[in-house]
Structure 1
Amino acid sequence: MIEPSVGSLVALRAEGDRLPLHCVHPVSGSPFCYSAMAHRLRDGQPVFGFEAPGFDGASEPLTSIRALAELHTASLRAARPHGPYQLLGWSLGGVVAYEMARMLAAEGEEVPLLVIVDAALPGTQSVPPDDELARYFLYDFLGVTRDRAPGVDKALAGVRPGAEPAEVFEAAEVHGAVPEEFDAEFLMERYALFRTHVVAMREHRLDAVHDGPAILIKAEDSVERLLDWSPYVSRLTVRTAPGDHHSVWQGAGLTAISAIVDQALGEATAG
Protein backbone atom coordinates (compact mmCIF):
# COMPACT_ATOMS: atom_id res chain seq x y z
CA MET A 1 0.00 0.00 0.00
CA ILE A 2 1.32 3.43 -0.98
CA GLU A 3 1.32 5.89 1.89
CA PRO A 4 -0.01 9.35 1.05
CA SER A 5 2.28 12.34 1.41
CA VAL A 6 0.47 15.63 1.86
CA GLY A 7 3.94 17.21 1.84
CA SER A 8 4.21 16.43 -1.87
CA LEU A 9 1.41 18.94 -2.51
CA VAL A 10 2.84 22.39 -3.27
CA ALA A 11 0.74 25.55 -3.18
CA LEU A 12 1.21 27.41 -6.47
CA ARG A 13 -1.59 29.83 -5.63
CA ALA A 14 -3.09 29.16 -2.21
CA GLU A 15 -5.65 31.93 -1.87
CA GLY A 16 -9.23 31.61 -3.04
CA ASP A 17 -12.42 29.75 -2.30
CA ARG A 18 -13.10 28.22 -5.71
CA LEU A 19 -12.73 24.49 -6.35
CA PRO A 20 -8.95 23.91 -6.49
CA LEU A 21 -7.03 22.86 -9.58
CA HIS A 22 -4.42 20.17 -8.92
CA CYS A 23 -1.51 19.95 -11.38
CA VAL A 24 0.74 16.92 -11.83
CA HIS A 25 4.48 17.38 -12.39
CA PRO A 26 6.01 16.60 -15.79
CA VAL A 27 9.03 14.34 -16.27
CA SER A 28 11.28 16.70 -14.29
CA GLY A 29 9.33 15.97 -11.11
CA SER A 30 8.65 19.64 -10.32
CA PRO A 31 5.23 21.33 -10.55
CA PHE A 32 6.60 24.87 -10.66
CA CYS A 33 6.30 24.98 -14.46
CA TYR A 34 2.62 25.75 -13.80
CA SER A 35 3.23 28.83 -11.63
CA ALA A 36 2.86 31.42 -14.40
CA MET A 37 -0.41 29.86 -15.56
CA ALA A 38 -1.72 29.68 -11.98
CA HIS A 39 -1.36 33.44 -11.54
CA ARG A 40 -3.15 34.17 -14.82
CA LEU A 41 -6.35 32.42 -13.75
CA ARG A 42 -9.40 34.20 -12.38
CA ASP A 43 -9.40 35.70 -8.90
CA GLY A 44 -10.10 33.23 -6.13
CA GLN A 45 -8.77 30.18 -8.02
CA PRO A 46 -6.45 28.06 -5.85
CA VAL A 47 -3.87 25.95 -7.68
CA PHE A 48 -1.76 23.19 -6.17
CA GLY A 49 0.94 20.99 -7.68
CA PHE A 50 2.24 17.51 -6.98
CA GLU A 51 6.00 17.08 -6.56
CA ALA A 52 7.46 13.69 -7.47
CA PRO A 53 9.27 11.48 -4.96
CA GLY A 54 12.98 11.84 -5.63
CA PHE A 55 12.85 15.49 -6.65
CA ASP A 56 14.05 16.44 -3.18
CA GLY A 57 17.18 14.35 -3.72
CA ALA A 58 16.40 12.27 -0.63
CA SER A 59 13.41 10.02 -1.29
CA GLU A 60 13.38 7.20 -3.84
CA PRO A 61 11.70 7.82 -7.22
CA LEU A 62 8.69 5.74 -8.16
CA THR A 63 9.26 3.56 -11.18
CA SER A 64 5.82 3.33 -12.77
CA ILE A 65 3.04 5.64 -13.89
CA ARG A 66 0.54 3.63 -11.88
CA ALA A 67 2.58 4.04 -8.68
CA LEU A 68 2.80 7.80 -9.25
CA ALA A 69 -0.94 7.98 -9.86
CA GLU A 70 -1.70 5.94 -6.75
CA LEU A 71 0.57 8.08 -4.57
CA HIS A 72 -0.74 11.40 -5.83
CA THR A 73 -4.35 10.20 -5.59
CA ALA A 74 -3.76 9.12 -1.98
CA SER A 75 -2.06 12.45 -1.20
CA LEU A 76 -4.92 14.37 -2.80
CA ARG A 77 -7.54 12.50 -0.82
CA ALA A 78 -5.55 12.92 2.40
CA ALA A 79 -5.64 16.69 1.85
CA ARG A 80 -9.16 16.79 0.38
CA PRO A 81 -11.09 13.60 1.26
CA HIS A 82 -13.91 14.11 -1.24
CA GLY A 83 -14.37 15.69 -4.65
CA PRO A 84 -15.19 17.14 -6.99
CA TYR A 85 -11.59 17.12 -8.22
CA GLN A 86 -10.04 19.11 -11.08
CA LEU A 87 -6.80 17.80 -12.56
CA LEU A 88 -4.22 19.06 -15.06
CA GLY A 89 -0.96 17.63 -16.29
CA TRP A 90 1.61 18.41 -18.96
CA SER A 91 3.63 15.72 -20.73
CA LEU A 92 4.17 12.81 -18.30
CA GLY A 93 1.95 14.72 -15.88
CA GLY A 94 -0.92 14.44 -18.33
CA VAL A 95 -0.68 10.66 -18.34
CA VAL A 96 -0.49 10.51 -14.54
CA ALA A 97 -3.45 12.93 -14.23
CA TYR A 98 -5.43 10.73 -16.64
CA GLU A 99 -4.80 7.65 -14.49
CA MET A 100 -5.67 9.62 -11.34
CA ALA A 101 -8.97 10.68 -12.89
CA ARG A 102 -9.78 7.05 -13.66
CA MET A 103 -8.91 5.98 -10.11
CA LEU A 104 -11.02 8.72 -8.55
CA ALA A 105 -13.96 7.94 -10.81
CA ALA A 106 -13.67 4.24 -9.92
CA GLU A 107 -13.90 5.26 -6.26
CA GLY A 108 -17.17 7.08 -6.97
CA GLU A 109 -15.69 10.58 -6.96
CA GLU A 110 -16.60 13.28 -9.46
CA VAL A 111 -13.88 14.63 -11.79
CA PRO A 112 -15.56 17.46 -13.70
CA LEU A 113 -12.32 18.61 -15.33
CA LEU A 114 -9.25 16.79 -16.65
CA VAL A 115 -6.80 18.84 -18.74
CA ILE A 116 -4.05 16.98 -20.63
CA VAL A 117 -1.42 19.36 -22.02
CA ASP A 118 0.67 18.09 -24.95
CA ALA A 119 1.12 14.59 -23.52
CA ALA A 120 2.25 11.94 -25.98
CA LEU A 121 0.49 8.64 -25.57
CA PRO A 122 2.61 6.30 -23.45
CA GLY A 123 4.22 3.38 -25.21
CA THR A 124 4.49 5.17 -28.56
CA GLN A 125 8.24 5.76 -28.28
CA SER A 126 11.19 3.63 -27.19
CA VAL A 127 13.78 4.57 -24.56
CA PRO A 128 16.87 5.92 -26.36
CA PRO A 129 20.48 5.07 -25.39
CA ASP A 130 21.77 6.90 -22.32
CA ASP A 131 23.94 9.37 -24.23
CA GLU A 132 20.97 10.45 -26.37
CA LEU A 133 18.68 10.56 -23.34
CA ALA A 134 21.20 12.69 -21.44
CA ARG A 135 21.21 15.14 -24.33
CA TYR A 136 17.40 15.21 -24.36
CA PHE A 137 17.46 15.78 -20.59
CA LEU A 138 19.51 18.93 -21.16
CA TYR A 139 16.98 20.17 -23.71
CA ASP A 140 14.17 19.51 -21.25
CA PHE A 141 16.11 21.04 -18.34
CA LEU A 142 16.63 24.24 -20.32
CA GLY A 143 13.08 24.23 -21.69
CA VAL A 144 14.02 23.96 -25.37
CA THR A 145 13.49 21.47 -28.19
CA ARG A 146 16.13 19.65 -30.19
CA ASP A 147 16.14 22.11 -33.08
CA ARG A 148 16.31 25.16 -30.79
CA ALA A 149 19.31 24.30 -28.64
CA PRO A 150 22.44 25.52 -30.47
CA GLY A 151 24.29 26.08 -27.20
CA VAL A 152 23.78 22.49 -26.07
CA ASP A 153 24.61 21.02 -29.48
CA LYS A 154 27.80 23.08 -29.76
CA ALA A 155 28.92 22.11 -26.26
CA LEU A 156 28.35 18.41 -26.92
CA ALA A 157 29.82 18.34 -30.44
CA GLY A 158 32.98 16.62 -29.23
CA VAL A 159 31.31 14.05 -26.97
CA ARG A 160 31.89 10.53 -28.29
CA PRO A 161 28.92 8.37 -29.33
CA GLY A 162 27.86 6.08 -26.52
CA ALA A 163 29.33 8.32 -23.83
CA GLU A 164 28.14 7.95 -20.25
CA PRO A 165 25.71 10.64 -19.06
CA ALA A 166 28.35 11.99 -16.67
CA GLU A 167 30.59 12.80 -19.67
CA VAL A 168 27.72 14.58 -21.39
CA PHE A 169 27.03 16.74 -18.34
CA GLU A 170 30.71 17.50 -17.79
CA ALA A 171 30.95 18.78 -21.37
CA ALA A 172 27.82 20.88 -20.86
CA GLU A 173 29.30 22.39 -17.69
CA VAL A 174 32.76 23.05 -19.15
CA HIS A 175 31.39 24.74 -22.26
CA GLY A 176 28.79 26.81 -20.41
CA ALA A 177 25.72 25.22 -21.96
CA VAL A 178 23.91 25.43 -18.62
CA PRO A 179 23.89 28.20 -15.98
CA GLU A 180 27.03 28.01 -13.85
CA GLU A 181 25.13 27.18 -10.65
CA PHE A 182 24.16 23.81 -12.15
CA ASP A 183 27.30 21.66 -12.19
CA ALA A 184 27.67 18.17 -13.64
CA GLU A 185 26.99 16.50 -10.27
CA PHE A 186 23.69 18.37 -9.89
CA LEU A 187 22.70 17.49 -13.45
CA MET A 188 23.47 13.83 -12.82
CA GLU A 189 21.20 13.81 -9.77
CA ARG A 190 18.34 15.38 -11.73
CA TYR A 191 18.97 13.04 -14.65
CA ALA A 192 18.46 9.96 -12.46
CA LEU A 193 14.88 11.04 -11.69
CA PHE A 194 14.29 12.13 -15.29
CA ARG A 195 15.44 8.76 -16.66
CA THR A 196 13.27 6.85 -14.19
CA HIS A 197 10.24 8.83 -15.32
CA VAL A 198 11.03 8.45 -19.03
CA VAL A 199 11.29 4.68 -18.67
CA ALA A 200 8.04 4.60 -16.68
CA MET A 201 6.31 6.62 -19.40
CA ARG A 202 7.62 4.50 -22.26
CA GLU A 203 6.67 1.24 -20.52
CA HIS A 204 3.16 2.29 -19.45
CA ARG A 205 0.14 1.06 -21.36
CA LEU A 206 -3.37 2.52 -21.35
CA ASP A 207 -5.88 -0.26 -20.78
CA ALA A 208 -9.29 1.40 -20.43
CA VAL A 209 -11.35 4.49 -21.24
CA HIS A 210 -11.97 7.52 -19.03
CA ASP A 211 -15.66 8.42 -19.26
CA GLY A 212 -15.43 11.90 -17.75
CA PRO A 213 -14.98 15.19 -19.61
CA ALA A 214 -11.42 16.01 -20.65
CA ILE A 215 -9.61 18.67 -22.64
CA LEU A 216 -6.48 17.93 -24.66
CA ILE A 217 -4.38 21.04 -25.32
CA LYS A 218 -1.93 20.32 -28.14
CA ALA A 219 1.11 22.42 -28.96
CA GLU A 220 0.70 23.26 -32.63
CA ASP A 221 4.27 22.18 -33.47
CA SER A 222 3.98 18.76 -31.79
CA VAL A 223 3.66 15.47 -33.68
CA GLU A 224 -0.04 14.88 -34.27
CA ARG A 225 0.05 11.08 -34.31
CA LEU A 226 1.52 10.90 -30.80
CA LEU A 227 -1.35 12.91 -29.31
CA ASP A 228 -4.46 10.96 -30.34
CA TRP A 229 -6.19 10.47 -26.99
CA SER A 230 -9.63 9.92 -28.53
CA PRO A 231 -9.62 6.10 -28.07
CA TYR A 232 -9.03 6.55 -24.33
CA VAL A 233 -11.33 9.48 -23.44
CA SER A 234 -15.00 9.28 -24.35
CA ARG A 235 -15.77 12.98 -23.85
CA LEU A 236 -12.70 14.67 -25.29
CA THR A 237 -12.40 18.28 -26.44
CA VAL A 238 -9.24 19.15 -28.39
CA ARG A 239 -7.71 22.64 -28.36
CA THR A 240 -4.46 23.97 -29.79
CA ALA A 241 -1.95 26.46 -28.40
CA PRO A 242 0.93 28.08 -30.32
CA GLY A 243 4.42 26.74 -29.78
CA ASP A 244 6.23 23.47 -29.34
CA HIS A 245 6.32 21.08 -26.41
CA HIS A 246 8.29 23.53 -24.25
CA SER A 247 7.66 26.99 -25.73
CA VAL A 248 3.91 26.43 -25.36
CA TRP A 249 4.43 27.56 -21.74
CA GLN A 250 5.81 30.91 -22.85
CA GLY A 251 4.40 33.98 -24.58
CA ALA A 252 1.38 33.34 -26.79
CA GLY A 253 1.27 29.66 -25.80
CA LEU A 254 1.04 30.49 -22.11
CA THR A 255 -1.66 33.07 -22.81
CA ALA A 256 -3.67 30.51 -24.80
CA ILE A 257 -3.31 27.72 -22.22
CA SER A 258 -4.26 30.04 -19.37
CA ALA A 259 -7.37 31.23 -21.23
CA ILE A 260 -8.45 27.68 -22.13
CA VAL A 261 -7.97 26.45 -18.56
CA ASP A 262 -9.66 29.50 -17.04
CA GLN A 263 -12.72 29.04 -19.25
CA ALA A 264 -12.84 25.31 -18.51
CA LEU A 265 -12.64 25.92 -14.76
CA GLY A 266 -15.55 28.34 -14.97
CA GLU A 267 -17.67 25.93 -16.99
CA ALA A 268 -16.84 22.94 -14.78
CA THR A 269 -17.85 24.67 -11.57
CA ALA A 270 -20.93 26.18 -13.19
CA GLY A 271 -22.43 22.92 -13.98
Structure 2
Amino acid sequence: MTEPSPDSLVTLRETGGPNPLYCVHPVSGSPYCYSGLAHGLGTDTPVHGFEAPGFDGVSEPAASIRELAERHTATLRDARPHGPYLLLGWSLGGVVAYEMARLLSAAGEEVPLLVIIDAALPRLQPLPPEDSLARYFLYDFLGVTEGRAPDVDKAVSGLGPGARPADLFAAVERERAVPEEFDAEFLLERYALFRTHVRALRHHPLGPVHEGPAILVRAAVTEDRLLEWGPYLPRLTEHTVPGDHHSMWQGPGLDAMSGIVTRALREVS
Protein backbone atom coordinates (compact mmCIF):
# COMPACT_ATOMS: atom_id res chain seq x y z
CA MET A 1 0.00 0.00 0.00
CA THR A 2 1.35 3.44 -0.97
CA GLU A 3 1.94 5.68 2.02
CA PRO A 4 0.64 9.28 1.97
CA SER A 5 3.03 12.25 2.15
CA PRO A 6 1.09 14.98 3.95
CA ASP A 7 3.97 17.46 3.69
CA SER A 8 3.76 17.32 -0.11
CA LEU A 9 0.32 18.96 -0.16
CA VAL A 10 0.62 22.75 -0.03
CA THR A 11 -2.13 25.33 0.28
CA LEU A 12 -2.31 27.93 -2.50
CA ARG A 13 -5.68 29.43 -1.51
CA GLU A 14 -7.05 28.60 1.91
CA THR A 15 -10.58 29.96 2.07
CA GLY A 16 -13.59 28.71 0.20
CA GLY A 17 -16.30 26.10 -0.03
CA PRO A 18 -16.25 22.40 0.75
CA ASN A 19 -14.72 21.10 -2.51
CA PRO A 20 -11.10 22.16 -3.10
CA LEU A 21 -9.27 22.16 -6.41
CA TYR A 22 -6.12 20.00 -6.35
CA CYS A 23 -3.31 20.94 -8.75
CA VAL A 24 -0.52 18.56 -9.75
CA HIS A 25 3.02 19.91 -10.23
CA PRO A 26 4.58 20.08 -13.71
CA VAL A 27 7.99 18.65 -14.61
CA SER A 28 9.80 21.04 -12.25
CA GLY A 29 8.15 19.38 -9.26
CA SER A 30 6.84 22.66 -7.83
CA PRO A 31 3.13 23.50 -7.51
CA TYR A 32 3.70 27.23 -7.04
CA CYS A 33 3.24 27.87 -10.77
CA TYR A 34 -0.49 27.69 -9.96
CA SER A 35 -0.43 30.60 -7.50
CA GLY A 36 -1.61 33.13 -10.09
CA LEU A 37 -4.45 30.87 -11.17
CA ALA A 38 -5.46 30.18 -7.55
CA HIS A 39 -5.78 33.89 -6.81
CA GLY A 40 -7.43 34.65 -10.16
CA LEU A 41 -10.36 32.29 -9.77
CA GLY A 42 -13.60 34.18 -9.52
CA THR A 43 -15.14 31.62 -7.23
CA ASP A 44 -14.88 30.68 -3.59
CA THR A 45 -12.77 27.54 -3.99
CA PRO A 46 -9.81 26.46 -1.85
CA VAL A 47 -6.80 25.46 -3.96
CA HIS A 48 -4.06 23.01 -2.99
CA GLY A 49 -1.02 21.82 -4.90
CA PHE A 50 1.06 18.64 -4.88
CA GLU A 51 4.83 18.97 -4.56
CA ALA A 52 6.86 16.20 -6.17
CA PRO A 53 8.82 13.70 -4.09
CA GLY A 54 12.43 14.82 -4.21
CA PHE A 55 11.67 18.51 -4.64
CA ASP A 56 12.78 19.04 -1.05
CA GLY A 57 16.23 17.70 -1.95
CA VAL A 58 15.86 14.99 0.70
CA SER A 59 13.21 12.44 -0.28
CA GLU A 60 13.62 10.01 -3.18
CA PRO A 61 12.03 11.11 -6.49
CA ALA A 62 9.33 8.97 -8.03
CA ALA A 63 10.70 6.96 -10.95
CA SER A 64 7.47 6.68 -12.95
CA ILE A 65 4.24 8.50 -13.72
CA ARG A 66 2.34 5.62 -12.17
CA GLU A 67 4.29 6.03 -8.92
CA LEU A 68 3.63 9.78 -8.90
CA ALA A 69 -0.10 9.18 -9.44
CA GLU A 70 -0.27 6.55 -6.71
CA ARG A 71 1.65 8.65 -4.19
CA HIS A 72 -0.36 11.80 -4.83
CA THR A 73 -3.62 9.83 -4.75
CA ALA A 74 -2.67 8.33 -1.38
CA THR A 75 -1.86 11.81 -0.06
CA LEU A 76 -5.12 13.20 -1.43
CA ARG A 77 -7.25 10.46 0.14
CA ASP A 78 -5.42 10.86 3.44
CA ALA A 79 -6.40 14.57 3.45
CA ARG A 80 -9.86 13.98 1.97
CA PRO A 81 -11.00 10.34 2.25
CA HIS A 82 -13.89 10.67 -0.22
CA GLY A 83 -14.82 12.80 -3.21
CA PRO A 84 -15.92 14.60 -5.12
CA TYR A 85 -12.38 15.28 -6.32
CA LEU A 86 -11.52 18.24 -8.56
CA LEU A 87 -8.17 17.80 -10.33
CA LEU A 88 -6.01 20.05 -12.50
CA GLY A 89 -2.55 19.63 -14.00
CA TRP A 90 -0.30 21.46 -16.43
CA SER A 91 2.22 19.72 -18.70
CA LEU A 92 3.50 16.58 -16.92
CA GLY A 93 1.00 17.42 -14.17
CA GLY A 94 -1.84 16.95 -16.64
CA VAL A 95 -0.71 13.39 -17.36
CA VAL A 96 -0.38 12.62 -13.64
CA ALA A 97 -3.80 14.17 -12.91
CA TYR A 98 -5.31 12.00 -15.66
CA GLU A 99 -3.89 8.86 -14.07
CA MET A 100 -5.06 10.02 -10.62
CA ALA A 101 -8.56 10.47 -12.01
CA ARG A 102 -8.47 6.91 -13.32
CA LEU A 103 -7.28 5.54 -9.95
CA LEU A 104 -9.97 7.43 -8.04
CA SER A 105 -12.72 6.39 -10.46
CA ALA A 106 -11.61 2.76 -10.24
CA ALA A 107 -11.96 3.04 -6.45
CA GLY A 108 -15.58 4.15 -6.89
CA GLU A 109 -14.93 7.83 -6.19
CA GLU A 110 -16.49 10.74 -8.08
CA VAL A 111 -14.22 12.97 -10.21
CA PRO A 112 -16.57 15.59 -11.64
CA LEU A 113 -13.76 17.80 -12.94
CA LEU A 114 -10.42 17.04 -14.57
CA VAL A 115 -8.62 20.00 -16.16
CA ILE A 116 -5.60 19.22 -18.35
CA ILE A 117 -3.55 22.27 -19.31
CA ASP A 118 -1.32 22.09 -22.40
CA ALA A 119 -0.15 18.56 -21.59
CA ALA A 120 1.34 16.68 -24.52
CA LEU A 121 0.38 13.02 -24.73
CA PRO A 122 3.28 10.87 -23.51
CA ARG A 123 5.04 8.99 -26.29
CA LEU A 124 7.51 6.18 -25.74
CA GLN A 125 10.90 7.58 -26.76
CA PRO A 126 14.46 7.84 -25.44
CA LEU A 127 15.85 10.87 -23.67
CA PRO A 128 17.52 13.51 -25.85
CA PRO A 129 21.29 14.05 -25.55
CA GLU A 130 22.27 15.24 -22.08
CA ASP A 131 23.40 18.71 -23.19
CA SER A 132 20.13 19.27 -25.09
CA LEU A 133 18.09 18.16 -22.10
CA ALA A 134 20.07 20.45 -19.77
CA ARG A 135 19.39 23.42 -22.08
CA TYR A 136 15.69 22.57 -22.17
CA PHE A 137 15.77 22.47 -18.37
CA LEU A 138 17.20 25.98 -18.27
CA TYR A 139 14.44 27.29 -20.54
CA ASP A 140 11.81 25.59 -18.40
CA PHE A 141 13.43 26.86 -15.20
CA LEU A 142 13.24 30.43 -16.50
CA GLY A 143 9.67 29.94 -17.73
CA VAL A 144 10.34 30.49 -21.42
CA THR A 145 10.27 28.45 -24.60
CA GLU A 146 13.38 27.64 -26.62
CA GLY A 147 14.91 30.67 -28.32
CA ARG A 148 13.53 33.16 -25.78
CA ALA A 149 16.44 33.15 -23.35
CA PRO A 150 19.22 34.95 -25.27
CA ASP A 151 21.39 35.33 -22.15
CA VAL A 152 21.39 31.56 -21.65
CA ASP A 153 22.14 30.90 -25.31
CA LYS A 154 25.02 33.37 -25.21
CA ALA A 155 26.42 31.94 -21.97
CA VAL A 156 26.61 28.37 -23.31
CA SER A 157 27.56 29.25 -26.89
CA GLY A 158 31.24 28.52 -26.26
CA LEU A 159 30.59 24.98 -25.05
CA GLY A 160 30.86 22.25 -27.60
CA PRO A 161 28.39 19.43 -28.32
CA GLY A 162 28.18 16.92 -25.50
CA ALA A 163 28.94 19.42 -22.75
CA ARG A 164 28.10 18.16 -19.29
CA PRO A 165 25.11 19.70 -17.49
CA ALA A 166 27.46 20.86 -14.72
CA ASP A 167 29.50 22.81 -17.30
CA LEU A 168 26.37 24.43 -18.76
CA PHE A 169 25.15 25.47 -15.33
CA ALA A 170 28.57 26.81 -14.36
CA ALA A 171 28.57 28.89 -17.55
CA VAL A 172 25.14 30.43 -16.95
CA GLU A 173 26.09 31.20 -13.34
CA ARG A 174 29.37 32.79 -14.42
CA GLU A 175 27.66 34.91 -17.08
CA ARG A 176 24.76 35.79 -14.76
CA ALA A 177 22.21 34.39 -17.21
CA VAL A 178 20.03 33.25 -14.30
CA PRO A 179 19.14 35.14 -11.09
CA GLU A 180 22.18 35.25 -8.82
CA GLU A 181 20.51 33.30 -6.01
CA PHE A 182 20.49 30.20 -8.23
CA ASP A 183 24.04 28.89 -8.44
CA ALA A 184 25.31 25.95 -10.48
CA GLU A 185 24.98 23.52 -7.57
CA PHE A 186 21.33 24.44 -7.07
CA LEU A 187 20.62 24.10 -10.80
CA LEU A 188 22.28 20.67 -10.90
CA GLU A 189 20.10 19.51 -8.01
CA ARG A 190 16.92 20.74 -9.69
CA TYR A 191 18.05 19.25 -13.00
CA ALA A 192 18.32 15.79 -11.45
CA LEU A 193 14.61 15.86 -10.51
CA PHE A 194 13.66 17.37 -13.88
CA ARG A 195 15.55 14.61 -15.70
CA THR A 196 13.85 11.91 -13.63
CA HIS A 197 10.45 13.34 -14.50
CA VAL A 198 11.21 13.69 -18.22
CA ARG A 199 12.39 10.08 -18.30
CA ALA A 200 9.25 8.94 -16.46
CA LEU A 201 7.04 10.77 -18.95
CA ARG A 202 8.84 9.36 -21.97
CA HIS A 203 8.48 5.82 -20.65
CA HIS A 204 4.83 6.06 -19.63
CA PRO A 205 2.15 4.01 -21.40
CA LEU A 206 -0.98 6.10 -20.97
CA GLY A 207 -3.92 4.35 -19.32
CA PRO A 208 -6.73 3.49 -21.76
CA VAL A 209 -9.57 5.87 -20.87
CA HIS A 210 -11.15 8.09 -18.22
CA GLU A 211 -14.93 8.23 -18.56
CA GLY A 212 -15.50 11.35 -16.45
CA PRO A 213 -15.93 14.92 -17.71
CA ALA A 214 -12.70 16.67 -18.65
CA ILE A 215 -11.46 20.00 -19.97
CA LEU A 216 -8.38 20.52 -22.13
CA VAL A 217 -6.89 24.02 -22.15
CA ARG A 218 -4.31 24.47 -24.89
CA ALA A 219 -1.89 27.28 -25.62
CA ALA A 220 -2.58 28.95 -28.96
CA VAL A 221 0.82 28.08 -30.45
CA THR A 222 0.97 24.44 -29.29
CA GLU A 223 0.72 21.97 -32.18
CA ASP A 224 -2.62 20.15 -32.26
CA ARG A 225 -0.98 16.77 -32.86
CA LEU A 226 0.64 16.91 -29.41
CA LEU A 227 -2.70 17.28 -27.62
CA GLU A 228 -4.91 14.58 -29.11
CA TRP A 229 -6.61 13.61 -25.83
CA GLY A 230 -9.98 12.81 -27.42
CA PRO A 231 -9.55 9.00 -27.60
CA TYR A 232 -8.68 8.90 -23.88
CA LEU A 233 -11.36 11.33 -22.68
CA PRO A 234 -14.76 10.69 -24.34
CA ARG A 235 -16.38 13.60 -22.42
CA LEU A 236 -13.76 16.18 -23.33
CA THR A 237 -14.34 19.91 -23.82
CA GLU A 238 -11.50 21.93 -25.39
CA HIS A 239 -10.46 25.57 -25.05
CA THR A 240 -7.60 27.63 -26.49
CA VAL A 241 -5.98 30.57 -24.68
CA PRO A 242 -3.36 33.10 -25.87
CA GLY A 243 0.34 32.37 -25.49
CA ASP A 244 2.76 29.48 -25.60
CA HIS A 245 3.42 26.70 -23.09
CA HIS A 246 4.86 29.18 -20.57
CA SER A 247 3.49 32.61 -21.50
CA MET A 248 -0.08 31.27 -21.19
CA TRP A 249 0.43 31.70 -17.42
CA GLN A 250 0.67 35.48 -17.76
CA GLY A 251 -1.55 38.33 -18.96
CA PRO A 252 -4.33 37.42 -21.41
CA GLY A 253 -3.57 33.70 -21.24
CA LEU A 254 -3.89 33.55 -17.47
CA ASP A 255 -7.02 35.71 -17.53
CA ALA A 256 -8.67 33.43 -20.09
CA MET A 257 -7.61 30.30 -18.23
CA SER A 258 -8.91 31.66 -14.93
CA GLY A 259 -12.28 32.32 -16.55
CA ILE A 260 -12.47 28.80 -18.00
CA VAL A 261 -11.64 27.13 -14.68
CA THR A 262 -13.94 29.47 -12.74
CA ARG A 263 -16.91 28.57 -14.95
CA ALA A 264 -16.11 24.85 -14.68
CA LEU A 265 -15.93 25.04 -10.88
CA ARG A 266 -19.27 26.82 -10.72
CA GLU A 267 -20.88 24.16 -12.89
CA VAL A 268 -19.70 21.26 -10.74
CA SER A 269 -20.60 23.02 -7.50
With the length of structure 2 as denominator, give the TM-score of the two structures.
0.98
CA distance in 2, matches of 1:39, 1:179: 25
Deviation at 1:44, TM superposition (A): 2.3
- Equivalent positions of 1:91-240 (< 5 A) are 91-123=91-123, 126-240=126-240
Deviation at 1:150, TM superposition (A): 1.1
Deviation at 1:30, TM superposition (A): 0.4
Deviation at 1:57, TM superposition (A): 0.5
CA distance in 1, matches of 2:37, 2:125: 29
Q: Which amino acid aligns with 1:44?
A: D
CA distance in 1, matches of 2:116, 2:62: 21
Paired residues, what number?
269
Q: Which amino acid aligns with 2:134?
A: A
On the 8 A contact 2:156/2:171 being kept in 1, the answer is: yes
Residues 195 and 176 of structure 1: CA distance in aligned 2, closer, same or farther (over 3 Å): same
On the 8 A contact 2:88/2:97 being kept in 1, the answer is: yes
Deviation at 1:207, TM superposition (A): 3.2
With the length of structure 1 as denominator, give the TM-score of the two structures.
0.97
On the 8 A contact 1:18/1:44 being kept in 2, the answer is: no
Q: Deviations over 1:48-107 (max 9, x none)?
A: 000000000000100100000000000000000000000000000000000000000000
Deviation at 1:147, TM superposition (A): 2.2
**Identity of counterpart residues, as a percentage?**
69
User: What's 1:88 paired with?
Assistant: 88
User: What's 1:255 paired with?
Assistant: 255
Aligned-partner SS, 1:99 = helix
Residues 119 and 125 of structure 1: CA distance in aligned 2, closer, same or farther (over 3 Å): farther
User: What's 1:59 paired with?
Assistant: 59
On the 8 A contact 2:42/2:259 being kept in 1, the answer is: no
Deviation at 1:224, TM superposition (A): 1.4
CA distance in 1, matches of 2:38, 2:173: 32
Deviation at 1:43, TM superposition (A): 4.3
CA distance in 2, matches of 1:24, 1:140: 17
Displacement over 4 Å in runs of 4+: none
On the 8 A contact 2:94/2:117 being kept in 1, the answer is: yes
On the 8 A contact 2:42/2:258 being kept in 1, the answer is: no
Gaps of 5+ in 1: none
CA distance in 2, matches of 1:116, 1:266: 17
On the 8 A contact 1:130/1:164 being kept in 2, the answer is: yes
Aligned-partner SS, 2:147 = helix
Task: Between 85-94 and 122-131, report the one with greater CA deviation.
Answer: 122-131
Q: Deviations over 1:169-194 (max 9, x none)?
A: 00111111100110000000000000
User: What's 1:17 paired with?
Assistant: 17
CA distance in 1, matches of 2:225, 2:151: 29
CA distance in 2, matches of 1:166, 1:112: 44
On the 8 A contact 1:88/1:97 being kept in 2, the answer is: yes
